[in-house]
Amino acid sequence: MIKKAKLFIILIIVIAAASISVVHSRSTQSIDRDTESASASGRHKRLSPVVFVPGDGGNQLDAQLNKTSSVHVFCQKHTDWFNIWLNLELLVPLVISCWIDNVKLQYDNITRTTHNTPGVKIRIPGWGDPEVVEWIDPTKAKSGGYFKDIADQLVQLGYERKKSIFGAPYDFRKAPNENAEWFINLKQLVEDAYDLNDQTPITFITHSMGSPMTLVFLQRQTQQWKSKYVARVVSVAGAWAGSVKAVKVYAMGDDLDSFALSGKVMREQQISTPSTAFLLPSPLFWKNSEVLVETPSRQYTMSQLEDFFNDIDFRDGWEMRKDNIKYSLNFAPPDVELHCIYGSNVATVEKLVYKKDNLVGEIPMLIKGDGDGTVNSRSLKACQYWQNFQRPNITLIDVPNADHMSILGDPQVLKYIRTIFS
């Protein structure tokens, strides 16, 4: 058995705001008061069924191989269905090259869609089952925990898995334009959960990319449908307006905060996914003149991202950006009650600086600003923009020093979520 390496999953990015007036923001200092009032007023309420919507990398994936060739002699070519994400044994040196070839996508700029490596099938297990989003690693290794702490909290309040707690996993490698079936299935899951729980409106609990994915879903529903079936959205570390970290991934990859992984090695798989393009900074919250990348002789502003992709020799990244920019540009409000919970005061990349003009193969220096370590502050707080455009209440909860992943188990966050459902 290959020794497992500790891994922290980073779920990346998309849609946000700065230079907008803060309207219903509260700090964690008010959570104690919220707990007392919510407990007193909510004891006799019916439990609002919960649907978890994960972010990038936030649910299990299975694979089946029937390949005619492989990248190395030790890589399997024929298998039955097996867990490929999260499977720590597949992310160790040498073996990881097999994993990358099996998980990466290939882009077709004629059909504007992606497909798996020939001979690879990927499926999303456990539709509706919260376990596949509570534990990204089916062995339940500690590093593979995801929504588990929040789910355990709900169970203490009387919730039951697969009766009043559900999961909505999807192919997180892909962006909204290639997840049409998921949006259809999600609507049916919401209606089924509503009926199963005495016609009680549901609550979405979302994380990272799951927040803008849920926004796209809600934008497609009528107000009548939302008023009937949806009580609220609880967004945790929502990447509403993307993140500069997505630019960093294209430049140098990401090591997922693991000492055992190399961002340079992981990059091949990471940049092949349209979800990375979906999570690039939104032009609604980054000015065209803002510099994202800098070299000794030039600057790449927000409006010059196409040049950046050309100069890193990855034109497909720009094509995938064009396929999904319409979702970033549509920032219509969800028109449901919204709780926006996010971390702050954690160094987060906001600009890349190269020592050389040739970008290919070079590792830039990262200039950092405020955020949660993955998503920039303006994106996390972009939800405040809707305060002037929807009637349902919007509450912002700032959790200082909580990073993008640890916030899911932060005691203050769990306590606040408990007040919502008490």
DSSP 135: B
In-domain check, residue 74: no
In-domain check, residue 79: no
Write out the two tokens for 139. 């062995």
CATH label of the domain that carries residue 203? 3.40.50.1820
List the catalytic residues.
Answer: 208, 372, 404
Q: Are 380 and 17 in contact (CB under 8 A)?
A: no
Instruction: Give the sign of the dihedral formed by CA 232, CA 331, CA 275, CA 401.
Output: negative
In-domain check, residue 210: yes
**Cα separation of 299 and 288, whole Å?**
12
**Cα separation of 354 and 366, whole Å?**
9
- Could you list the residue range(s) of the whole structural domain that residue 274 is in? 25-58+127-421
For the chain, the domain total comes to 1
Q: What is the pLDDT of residue 9?
A: 36
User: Would you tell me how many other CB atoms lie within 10 Å of the CB of residue 224?
Assistant: 8
Q: What is the pLDDT of residue 45?
A: 63
Q: Return averaged pLDDT per consecutive 10 residues of the chain, 422 residues in all.
A: 36 32 40 44 70 98 97 97 97 96 98 98 98 97 95 97 98 98 98 98 98 98 98 98 98 90 96 98 98 98 98 98 98 98 98 97 97 98 97 98 98 97 87
Q: What is the pLDDT of residue 12?
A: 33
What radius of gyration, in Å, describes the C-alpha atoms of the chain? 21
Write out the two tokens for 215. 């926004």
Q: Residue 418: helix, strand or coil by DSSP? A: helix
Q: What is the pLDDT of residue 258?
A: 84
Tokens 């923001």 correspond to what residue? 25
In-domain check, residue 279: yes
In-domain check, residue 4: no
In-domain check, residue 66: no
Q: What is the pLDDT of residue 34?
A: 46
**Cα separation of 305 and 310, whole Å?**
9
In-domain check, residue 3: no
In-domain check, residue 108: no
Write out the two tokens for 185. 């299935």
Q: What is the pLDDT of residue 346?
A: 98
Note the pTM of the prediction, 2 decimals.
Answer: 0.90
